Structure 1
Amino acid sequence: MILHTLKGYIQTLYIAEYPDKLMLLDGASRADVDDITQYITQELNRPITDLKVVVITHMHPDHAGGANLLRARTGCALVSADRPNQWYSGLDGFIMHLTDIALAMWVAKRKNQPKRNLWYSRHLHPQVRVGEGDVIPGFEDWRVMETPGHTDRDLSLYHCEQDLLYVADLIVEVKQSLISPFPIFHPNQYRASVKRVFEMAPKRLLAAHGGEVTFDKETYRYLIETTPRTPSTHWRVTKIQLRSLFTALWSLGRAKRKNQ
């Protein structure tokens, strides 16, 4: 297995290459689809139909946004967590989907990336559903680890022979520091996932945001200590901001009444 690293729109992409097949370790964003297909056909000199599997580690725009388009172009199988419900279900899910796309666009702007269309379906219908300990069909040297916390369905992928672990958004690098991601829906599960990866101590640890990273004891302690104790989600952050705004307006109004 040869692992290729590509610079994506706002994240790092990984393609596992074999003599007769390819696997994309995550579903990328919609803005990455053309670059992925071009890389396969021009850099690897392979037909795009050699892409047999795309794994979706979770449903955020830079991890699921390109999946359905890649399946339409290549006929690949989509592989994701075995969950009974859609991540973006209901009215709350619809709003969260829009918010996540807006957040991805904000990240792209911060990275000085040109504006791209990041729209994608909030519903995923994978051909294969996997859980803890399962292998990826057709790529049995890759094993699935469930590492929830960021969402309820986060997957990591472990290549046993090379002692290599891809953790998607479990850990992200910002300004050369490793931090926990946003949002974190399940803080206790997140800490357990981080602890599991630290104790596992793979030879190579790959993140979607940061590439290959060094996960030492100091970083582990920092993540455990700084990860919020309560869920840090879109709605909670919005409520805090609204509360601060109302408090400021109330204080301003009170001050004006005193001066009258």
Structure 2
Amino acid sequence: MRLHTLSGYIQHIYLAEHDDGLLLLDGCSRADVNAVCDYIAHTLQRPLTQLKLIVVTHMHPDHAGGAMLLRKKTGAKVAAHPKAANWYKGVAGRTAHGIDLLLTWWVAGRIGKRKMPIWYNPVLAPDIILNDKDTLPYFNHWQVLYTPGHTDHDLSVVHLPTKQAYIADVLVKVKGELVPPYPLCHPNQYRESLKKLAQSYIETFFCAHVPPTPRRDINFGHVILNAPRKPKNHWHSSKNRIKKKLFGLTQEH
């Protein structure tokens, strides 16, 4: 197994090369689709049909936005957790999807990227459903770990022989310190996910927004101890701002 790292629109893209096919460890963003196809065709010099499987770790734009278009271009199967398809359903879900698209553009602007087309269907239609400890179809040396917290459907994938894992947004880095991601929708589940990773045999962790990090450089206990006890997402942030303003007005009067 050879793991290739591509520089995505706002995240790292990991493409696992096996002799009998290619595995994309996340659905990347719509803005990344052409880059992934060019890398397969020109750098690896393999036909696009060699991309056999795309794992969608969760439904945010930089992790799911390119999955269905890549499926159309390559014939690859798309795999995700059973809860992924419902993440953006309904009025509240569509609103959250719009906010997440705007946040993606905001992050892109912060790192000097121009606005690119990133819209994608917010309701995923995966070919394959993945649950905790499943083996990936076509790639039986890879195992799924269910690691919710950031959302209710986060997946990590582990390459068993090399003890390497891609954990997507389970950890991000702020001011040089590994911290929980934003949003953090399920803080209790998040701490359990961190405990699962801390107790695992994984030696190297690959993240979407953090360079590959060996286990010895991750203080899981510190992150668990300092992780929020209440959800931190768009809705809770908005409600908290409204409460503060109302409280301020009350104090004034």
Could you tell me the TM-score, scaled by structure 1's length?
A: 0.92
After superposing the two structures, state which structure 1 stretch, 204-213 or 237-246, moved more.
237-246
Measure the CA separation in 2 of the matches of 1:178 and 1:104: 20
Aligned AA (1:204): T
Distance 1:82 1:152, change over 3 A: same
- Residue of structure 2 in register with 1:183 after alignment: 183
> Following TM superposition, by how much is the alpha carbon of 1:249 offset from its aligned partner in structure 2, in angstroms?
5.2
After superposing the two structures, state which structure 1 stretch, 26-35 or 222-231, moved more.
222-231
> Following TM superposition, by how much is the alpha carbon of 1:174 offset from its aligned partner in structure 2, in angstroms?
2.9
- Residue of structure 2 in register with 1:159 after alignment: 159
Correspondence 1:144 to 2:144 = yes
- Residue of structure 1 in register with 2:3 after alignment: 3
Over the residues paired in the alignment, what is the CA RMSD in angstroms?
1.7
- Residue of structure 1 in register with 2:108 after alignment: 108
- Residue of structure 1 in register with 2:208 after alignment: 208
Q: Could you tell me whether the CA contact under 8 Å between 1:174 and 1:210 is conserved in 2?
A: no
Aligned residues: 253
Aligned AA (1:200): S
Q: Which has the larger radius of gyration?
A: 1
Q: Could you tell me whether the CA contact under 8 Å between 1:14 and 1:26 is conserved in 2?
A: yes
- Residue of structure 1 in register with 2:80 after alignment: 80
Measure the CA separation in 2 of the matches of 1:246 and 1:41: 57
> Following TM superposition, by how much is the alpha carbon of 1:109 offset from its aligned partner in structure 2, in angstroms?
1.1
Local SS of the residue matching 1:38? helix
Q: Could you tell me whether the CA contact under 8 Å between 2:85 and 2:124 is conserved in 1?
A: no
Aligned AA (2:139): F
- Residue of structure 2 in register with 1:257 after alignment: none
Local SS of the residue matching 1:35? helix
Measure the CA separation in 2 of the matches of 1:34 and 1:176: 31
> Following TM superposition, by how much is the alpha carbon of 1:176 offset from its aligned partner in structure 2, in angstroms?
2.6
> Following TM superposition, by how much is the alpha carbon of 1:221 offset from its aligned partner in structure 2, in angstroms?
2.6
- Residue of structure 2 in register with 1:134 after alignment: 134
User: Percent identity of the aligned residues?
Assistant: 42
Q: Could you tell me whether the CA contact under 8 Å between 1:53 and 1:78 is conserved in 2?
A: yes
Q: Could you tell me whether the CA contact under 8 Å between 1:133 and 1:143 is conserved in 2?
A: yes
Written as runs of structure 1 = structure 2, the 5 A alignment for 1:242-257 is 242-248=242-248, 254=253
Measure the CA separation in 1 of the matches of 2:49 and 2:132: 28
Local SS of the residue matching 1:200? coil
Measure the CA separation in 2 of the matches of 1:212 and 1:144: 19
Local SS of the residue matching 1:149? coil
Question: In the TM superposition, what whole-angstrom CA distance separates every residue of 1:212-250 from its partner, at most 9, and x where no partner exists?
Answer: 024448722321122110111110001112223344456
Q: Could you tell me whether the CA contact under 8 Å between 1:167 and 1:207 is conserved in 2?
A: yes
Aligned AA (1:122): P
After superposing the two structures, state which structure 1 stretch, 122-131 or 199-208, moved more.
199-208
Local SS of the residue matching 2:104? helix
Where structure 1 has 5 or more consecutive residues not aligned to the other structure, the ranges are 255-260
Where structure 2 has 5 or more consecutive residues not aligned to the other structure, the ranges are none
Question: In the TM superposition, what whole-angstrom CA distance separates every residue of 1:151-176 from its partner, at most 9, and x where no partner exists?
Answer: 11110001111111111111112333
Q: Could you tell me whether the CA contact under 8 Å between 2:172 and 2:209 is conserved in 1?
A: yes
